[in-house]
A = this chain, B = another copy of it.
Amino acid sequence: MTVRTGSYPASTNVRGAPYPRINPDGSITFLINAPGASRVQVQPGGMDNGLGAEPRDLVRDAEGVWTGTIPPGVPGFHYYWFVVDGLVVNDPGSETFFGYNRQTSGVELPEDPKVAAYYQPQDVPHGDVRIRWYWANTTKTWRRALVYTPPGYDTDVDRRYAVLYLQHGGGEDERGWTTQGRMSFIMDNAIAAGRAVPMIVVMECNYAYEPGQSAPPPVVSTVRSRPPRLSQTVSRLIVDDLIPMVDGSFRTLTDRAQRAMAGLSMGSCVALQTALHNLDLFDTIGVFSGPPLGDEDDIGLVAAAGGPMDDTEAFNARLRLLWFGAGTGEPREWGITQRRRAELDRAGIRYTYWETPDVSHEWLTWRRCLNEFVTLLFH
């Protein structure tokens, strides 16, 4: 195996791991040492994740080291794993990232540094992401929230801040926005540039179960597996436990004009089902790459809202911002968003639509959505 000139280890690797390796042409070389295996493939974490649509066979050398190079893909963060004689195996060279209801491998394919600057650490003041455990009465369990406090939070001790509640996607968890999404760097940079006001960002898990119930067993599949169904319990948790904890622990502004909720993919369903039915708590909703709220073939936003949207005029007056973002490269959710726009137009509901070119149902889309959405908040 010759190492290509100018190639370098992916930023998502564990320390010292030479593979996966980014080549100057944007292709990625994978490697796993599996002398006993008969067939090894690298499997992209979805049909549309920028590493191609299909698994790719790696090639064995005389010592049993398997390698393969994927042609230049779409930049950004991509889930992947190996399939070794049918078994799903993480790459020991990769950090792990919670997605698909388990820890998987992931690789960051760099963008042009100028374009990528907004989600990279820069020489600007940095906020903290705090790991905060709290007792949730709704589930009768200890739960973990991640809370971004902006630069200045520790020194401007009389200042209070607006709060964005930010939900992850299906199969992921509260860590997604910080690790895969680079939320803290996006916020730091947007705040430093004056594009966003300093705010608190709260990330918790979409999955919440009544006492005595538990999550369904995760399906470990060689291909993308469906996330567990969303329940209403998470909305009760957010309203009854999470918001009171945040408002009781952090210097928040508690008026509804200072509280927004957004989510990506399944997280947008949590944002909609929670915020639309609690307009006394929220005046802004962000939907990033939103799937249908109900059945696959039913957009059903207006109907699903079941009440708040019936009086169009009152609803438009009450919700300051209903924001939809999508990537034009998304095979499913971009189209769903267009159907949703038509539905909202018919109903006379005011909203804002934003799209970003070429990117698919992936974290690069959601980094871009967040970077745009936060500029619109709390002015």
Contact = CB atoms under 8 A, between A and B. Distances in A.
B128 A131 contact: yes
Interface of A: 14-18, 33-37, 84-90, 92-96, 98, 101-103, 121, 123, 126, 128-135, 142, 147, 154, 157, 173, 178, 184-185, 207, 214-218, 220, 228, 249-251
Nearest to A100: B92
A143 to B, nearest CB: 10
Contact of A220 (B35, B92, B133): B92
A5 B147 CA distance: 39
Contacts of A96: 96, 103
Given A90-B90, A101-B14, A131-B131, A85 B250 contact: no
A249 B154 contact: yes
A35 B154 contact: no
Contacts of A220: 33, 92
Given A37-B87, A96-B103, A103-B103, A131 B184 contact: yes
A7 to B, nearest CB: 14
A94 B98 CA distance: 11
Given A95-B103, A96-B96, A218-B92, A16 B228 contact: yes
A101 B217 contact: no
Contact of A250 (B93, B133, B154): B154
